[in-house]
Amino acid sequence: MPLLAALVSSLPGPLEPGGRYQVRQLPAAAAAPVLPPAYEPFLYLTPAHLALQRHAGLQAAFFLEDTHTGHTVAHLPVFGDEAGQAARSPWQAPFGAVQLAPELPTEVLAAFLEEVHRQLAARGVRRLMLRPYPFAYAPAASARLTHVLTRLGYRVALAEINNHLPCAADFRARLHPSERRRLHKCERHGLRFEQEPPLLLPWAYEFLSRCRQEKGQALSLPLERLQELFQQFPNQHFLFSVRNAQGEWAALTVAILVGNGVLYNFYPASPLAYNAFSPVVLLNAGLHAFCQASGLRLLDLGTSTLPEGLNQSLLQFKRHLGGVPSLKLTFEREL
């Protein structure tokens, strides 16, 4: 996109006119950066995925550019509500907010966010909500972002516990003895882990939906949306199962390669009839082996938050899997 088609703004200090850093605002949240990013963008912060977070209201993409290196060093896509007074990032994804280069100085990040605030306020936005990725994805960048946000007056609107498994570790060695017994029971009875072809997605969705309904829960995405994601991102979306000795499904999940060496166990489910076996343990063992074979860093088990609050039993299960806790924070600020 030509430079004149974008709004390039500056601030005193780290973003002074003619200085090293500049802020570029583009009118669509799904806009691509003009300069190549100095980091691997997470899936949910790529233009292709942001374009699927369909929204008819206010949209904007803010990019912080390093003119010395010729790279984009921070990115924040923003979606406004129908009234235009509240904005958020992401709109429809597990996380969004700011992704930044590891070496970005704190004062430059703060100046970038202050310029974003100024431009949003000029468009009538009065409140901004940011939901970044879990700390475990990039601990140093998460700590820097949290420090800057709190310094700029953001409050923590929601603090969640996220769990992950380090892929370099021995899965079985980290299991609680009770879960290790269940894993052995699954194996003795002939249950096996498999990767399923995407063409089975409609039947898998029905299975996942039934399992959620048994627990009084619902799937967050309709089948059509999930199929669209598999079609648009075939190399990042996977369908894995545990089948019994007769070939029937005992557990299923949708797993998402979100980038930077992270596989997200997005939709794990198993019928109540299999509670004595706990095939989800075998499912996670298979996912962990897949991560190791693929050279990935982390298997993200997600949060344990339901609409009514923390799901203690789910949190304990993830800990019994050997899950390592980290924070996933949601921030809000009045502009």
Kindly list the domain boundaries of the chain, sorted by start residue.
3-153, 163-328
CATH of region 163-328, choose from 3.40.630.30, 1.10.10.10, 3.30.230.10, 3.40.228.10 = 3.40.630.30
pLDDT classification of 296: cutoffs 50, 70, 90: very high
- pLDDT of 9 reads 45
- pLDDT of 13 reads 67
- pLDDT of 4 reads 31
pLDDT reading at 200 higher than 50: yes
Nearest of 84, 45, 81 to residue 63 by alpha carbon: 45
Nearest of 35, 123, 23 to residue 79 by alpha carbon: 123
* Share of residues in the chain with pLDDT > 90 (%): 86
Bridging pattern class, strands 309-310 and 305-306: antiparallel
- Per the CB < 8 A criterion, the answer to whether 77 and 96 are in contact is yes
What is the SS3 string spanning the chain? CCHHHCEEECCCHHHCCCCCEEEEEECCCCCCCCCCECCCCCHHHCHHHHHHCCCCCCEEEEEEEECCCCEEEEEEEEEECCCCCEEEECCCCCCCCCEECCCCCHHHHHHHHHHHHHHHHHCCCCEEEECCCCHHHCHHHHHHHHHHHHHCCCEEEEEEEEEEEECCCCHHHHCCHHHHHHHHHHHHCCCEEEEECHHHHHHHHHHHHHHHHHCCCCCCCCHHHHHHHHHHCCCCEEEEEEECCCCCEEEEEEEEEEECCEEEECCCECCHHHCCCCHHHHHHHHHHHHHHHHCCCEEEEEECEECCEECHHHHHHHHHCCCEEEEEEEEEEEC
User: What are the tens digits of pLDDT across the range 2-21?
Assistant: 333 344 444 446 787 778 99
Find the helix packing angle between 177-188 and 279-294, rounded to 10°: 90
- pLDDT of 18 reads 74
**Alpha carbon distance 189, 231 (integer Å):** 35
- Per the CB < 8 A criterion, the answer to whether 315 and 160 are in contact is no
Is-same-fold flag (3-153; 163-328)?
yes
What does the angle CA 170 – CA 276 – CA 210 come to, to the nearest 5 degrees?
A: 100
At position 238, the amino acid (one-letter code) is F
- What mean pLDDT do residues 155-178 have? 96
More confidently predicted of 259 and 3: 259
- pLDDT of 54 reads 82
pLDDT reading at 207 higher than 60: yes
- What mean pLDDT do residues 297-315 have? 87
- What mean pLDDT do residues 19-34 have? 94
CB atoms within 10 A of CB 309: 8
- Per the CB < 8 A criterion, the answer to whether 99 and 39 are in contact is yes
How high does pLDDT run on average in the chain?
93
Q: Which CATH class is domain 3-153?
A: alpha beta
pLDDT reading at 78 higher than 60: yes
Nearest 5°: phi and psi at 73?
Answer: -115, -5
User: What are the tens digits of pLDDT across the range 81-112?
Assistant: 877 789 999 999 999 999 999 999 999 999 99
pLDDT reading at 156 higher than 60: yes
What does the angle CA 319 – CA 321 – CA 324 come to, to the nearest 5 degrees?
A: 50
- Per the CB < 8 A criterion, the answer to whether 130 and 149 are in contact is yes
